[in-house]
Amino acid sequence: MKTFFYLLSNVGSFLFVTLVLAASQTSLWMQLFGFFPPPNSWVPTLMFFVIYRNAKEGIALTLFTSLAVSTMTVSPTFLFLVTSLSVYLIARYAKHRIFWTGPTYFMGLCAFSSAIFPILYLVFSLIWEKSPVHDFAFFESIVRSLLTALLALPVYYLFLFIDTKTNKKLPTDSGNLLYE
2-54 pLDDT, tens digit each: 788 888 888 889 999 999 999 998 888 888 888 888 899 999 999 999 998 88
Taking only the tens place, the pLDDT of each residue in 82-91 is 999 999 999 9
- Model pLDDT, residue 137: 82
Helices 43-52, 138-165: crossing angle, 10 deg rounding: 50
At residue 131 the predicted structure's pLDDT band, cuts being 50, 70 and 90, is confident
Tens of pLDDT, residue by residue over 98-123, are 888 889 999 999 999 999 999 999 99
pTM, two decimal places:
0.88
Under 8 Å between Cβ of 54 and 179: yes
Amino acid at 117: F
Average pLDDT over residues 63-72: 89
Q: Are 113 and 89 spatial neighbours (Cβ–Cβ below 8 Å)?
A: no
